[in-house]
């Protein structure tokens, strides 16, 4: 059993770590791809755009997720809490493509949003970077809600009572006790929202004509596999750095 | 109390808005599945079952649907077997490299699908293995294992080892202990993990595209149909099917594990 288990882990390990260099078509060591990556203006722009989008999506998810997570964990009755937990969890598993497609429906010309905004003389943003941002936020929101909810739920009521006894008003207690204590959970959630945005190429393809890291990788898989592999190390490296900081902030204990 | 009246009302409104944000887009897909005009113009022009009928009669869609179910079942079986073994190994024994497992598991979830897909497909290519049906099952199994493992390890941590020790003290050999003590405590966690694995595999598209080699699963069919104007109404119906087939297993899994299952991790 031990043997099988560790063998399996080894197997998994091997998969994640060995890929880019074994995939070189010409099996010759070269740094040309990385030089290309760093010196070409377009790739830098794509990288910054993708990281910016990931950060923006993460921030938006946080803003949307915190109130509902807080309501679930600290205000709602146990029955409501159970219902809400299921209500948040279910769409997480509904087809990813269909969720992106739903936003295509909403944002298309004469779609739902145009119709809803028509009385105000406005039209929706249409397809583009705003559409990508909305769709990513929509897709990854449950990944942010659930860890924050779990993190808030673990804060013992006695701590909040202690804060109140010491004269901390509601807002004060929130700012000085609850918010700092929920940081690891927020970071845990942000790992998902950030890294999922970083590598996705389907959503930008469906809802815009803008290129993100994922799109560039996919285009290059057929034409220039070594370059695609080299470029895929960029999100990988960013995610590893992110995970490193997340670990220091205690996010791993909140899984 | 922690929050005042105003705060509570504000929280309630925010919760309602977020729920609306989550559910309105999904319900739109369901409404469009029965929309007479078959375009994305809103409001719908009328109710029809025409697209449902056409979808049921579309052989490409049928084939894709069946392929997805078989692949999801295959990936689930592999993931349940290996996930259960891995969780027992980590939960009940200590060995070299044990601590790094949680890191590997988080990485497996956080790693972009493009990277995973490229890594797997080039590994298959360099080993000379063909892409297609079995390649998809293997690829899906690698990340579905994580779900089964997480559910099972959480259960193992909750259940005290003293039951197993008691069983051994009473003279049971290790297989009997596994059959009568360990496995029954794990069973519902494994089934819950398996249901989640099924739902994930059924929906997965990015890694699948890399491994497909011509095989069409339901998500691939949907993805390709976005570009074909005459199939767009059918996409809504396929979407309805995809939503149901991923939501129902998850609902059952939630019931089985008796509470919130963590995020995909």
Q: What is the pLDDT of residues A46-78, one digit of tens each?
A: 888 999 999 999 999 999 999 999 888 888 888
Q: Which SS3 state, helix, strand or coil, does residue B30 take?
A: helix
Which pLDDT band holds residue A208 (cuts at 50, 70, 90)?
A: confident
A182 neighbors A148 (Cβ within 8 angstroms) = yes
Which pLDDT band holds residue B98 (cuts at 50, 70, 90)?
A: low
Q: What is the pLDDT of residues A145-176, one digit of tens each?
A: 888 888 888 888 788 778 778 877 777 777 77
Asked whether the predicted pLDDT for residue A13 surpasses 80, the reply is: no
* Among A138-147, B3-12, B123-132, B195-204, the range of highest mean pLDDT: A138-147
Which pLDDT band holds residue B109 (cuts at 50, 70, 90)?
A: low
- The chain B residue lying nearest A197, using CA atoms, is B112
Residue B74, pLDDT score: 92
Q: What is the pLDDT of residues B31-50, one digit of tens each?
A: 887 777 766 666 776 677 77
Which pLDDT band holds residue B20 (cuts at 50, 70, 90)?
A: confident
Residue B193, pLDDT score: 82
Is A19 in Cβ contact with B118 (below 8 Å)? yes
The CA distance from A237 to A242, in Å, is 8
Task: Take residue B111 and report the two structure tokens written for it.
Answer: 């790693």
Mean local confidence (pLDDT), B239-251:
78
A55 neighbors B209 (Cβ within 8 angstroms) = no
The CA distance from B235 to B253, in Å, is 27
What is the 8-class DSSP label of residue B217? -
Is A22 in Cβ contact with B41 (below 8 Å)? no
Would you call the peptide bond into B201 cis, given omega within 30 degrees of 0 as the criterion? no
- Poorest-pLDDT segment among A2-16, A176-190, B117-131, B243-257: A2-16
Residue A60, pLDDT score: 94
Contact A191/B at CB under 8 A? yes
- Cβ neighbours of B254 in A, within 8 Å: 86, 89
- The chain A residue lying nearest B94, using CA atoms, is A2
Residue A58, pLDDT score: 94
Mean local confidence (pLDDT), A227-236:
78
Phi, psi of B35 (to 5 degrees): -85, 130
Name the average pLDDT for chain A.
Answer: 77
Residues A81, A82, A83, A84, Cα dihedral to 10°: 50
- The closest CB to that of A96, out of B15, B119, B203, belongs to B203
Question: Alpha carbon of B205 to those of A201, B39, B113, B251: distances in Å?
Answer: 11, 24, 9, 22
- Cβ neighbours of A9 in B, within 8 Å: 86, 97, 101, 104
- Poorest-pLDDT segment among A178-192, A200-214, A238-252, B201-215: A238-252
Chain A (113-142) residues lying within 8 Å, Cβ to Cβ, of chain B:
114-115, 138, 141-142
Is A111 in Cβ contact with B11 (below 8 Å)? no
Residue A63, pLDDT score: 92
In percent, how much of chain B has pLDDT > 90?
3
pLDDT higher for A201 or B42? Answer: A201
Asked whether the predicted pLDDT for residue B100 surpasses 70, the reply is: no
B36 neighbors B47 (Cβ within 8 angstroms) = yes
Q: Which SS3 state, helix, strand or coil, does residue A187 take?
A: helix
- Global pTM? 0.80
B88 neighbors A1 (Cβ within 8 angstroms) = yes
């Amino acid at each position: 059993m031990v043997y099988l288990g560790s063998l399996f882990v080894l197997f998994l390990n091997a998969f994640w770590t060995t890929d880019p260099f074994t995939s070189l078509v010409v099996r010759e060591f070269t740094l040309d791809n990385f030089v290309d990556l760093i010196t070409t203006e377009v790739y830098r722009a794509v990288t910054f755009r993708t990281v910016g989008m990931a950060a923006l999506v993460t921030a938006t998810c946080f803003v949307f997720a915190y109130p509902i997570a807080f309501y679930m964990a600290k205000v709602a009755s146990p029955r409501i809490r159970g219902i809400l937990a299921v209500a948040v969890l279910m769409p997480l598993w509904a087809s990813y493509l269909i969720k992106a497609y739903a936003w295509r429906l909403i944002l298309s010309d004469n779609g739902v949003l145009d119709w809803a905004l028509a009385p105000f003389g406005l039209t929706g943003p249409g397809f583009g970077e705003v559409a990508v941002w909305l769709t990513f936020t929509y897709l990854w929101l449950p990944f942010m809600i659930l860890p924050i909810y779990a993190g808030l739920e673990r804060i013992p009521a006695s701590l909040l009572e202690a804060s109140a006894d010491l004269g901390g008003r509601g807002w004060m207690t929130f700012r000085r006790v609850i918010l700092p204590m929920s940081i690891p959970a927020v970071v845990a959630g942000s790992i998902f929202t950030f890294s999922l945005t970083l590598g996705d190429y389907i959503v930008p393809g469906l809802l815009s004509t803008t290129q993100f890291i994922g799109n560039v990788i996919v285009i290059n898989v057929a034409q220039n596999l070594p370059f695609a592999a080299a470029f895929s190390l960029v999100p990988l490296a960013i995610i590893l750095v992110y995970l490193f900081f997340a670990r220091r902030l205690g996010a791993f204990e909140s899984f | 109390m922690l929050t005042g009246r105003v705060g509570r009302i504000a929280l309630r409104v925010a919760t309602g808005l977020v729920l609306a944000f989550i559910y309105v887009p999904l319900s739109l897909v369901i409404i469009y599945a029965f929309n007479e005009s078959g375009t994305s113009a809103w409001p719908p022009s009328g109710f029809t079952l025409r697209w449902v009928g056409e979808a049921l009669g579309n052989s490409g869609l049928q084939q894709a649907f069946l392929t997805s179910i078989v692949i999801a079942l295959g990936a689930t079986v592999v993931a349940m077997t290996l996930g259960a073994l891995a969780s027992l190994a980590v939960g009940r024994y200590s060995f070299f490299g044990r601590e790094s497992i949680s890191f590997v598991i988080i990485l497996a979830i956080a790693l972009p699908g493009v990277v995973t897909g490229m890594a797997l497909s080039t590994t298959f290519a360099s080993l000379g293995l063909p892409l297609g049906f079995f390649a998809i099952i293997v690829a899906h199994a690698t990340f579905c294992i994580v779900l089964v493992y997480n559910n099972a390890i959480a259960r193992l941590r909750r259940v005290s080892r003293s039951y197993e020790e008691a069983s051994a003290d009473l003279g049971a050999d290790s297989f009997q202990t596994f059959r009568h003590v360990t496995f029954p405590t794990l069973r519902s966690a494994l089934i819950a993990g398996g249901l989640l694995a099924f739902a994930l595999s059924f929906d997965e598209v990015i890694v699948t595209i890399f491994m497909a080699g011509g095989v069409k699963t339901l998500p691939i069919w949907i993805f390709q149909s976005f570009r074909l104007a005459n199939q767009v109404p059918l996409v809504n119906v396929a979407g309805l099917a995809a939503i149901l087939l991923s939501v129902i297993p998850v609902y059952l899994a939630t019931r089985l594990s008796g509470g919130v299952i963590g995020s995909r991790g």
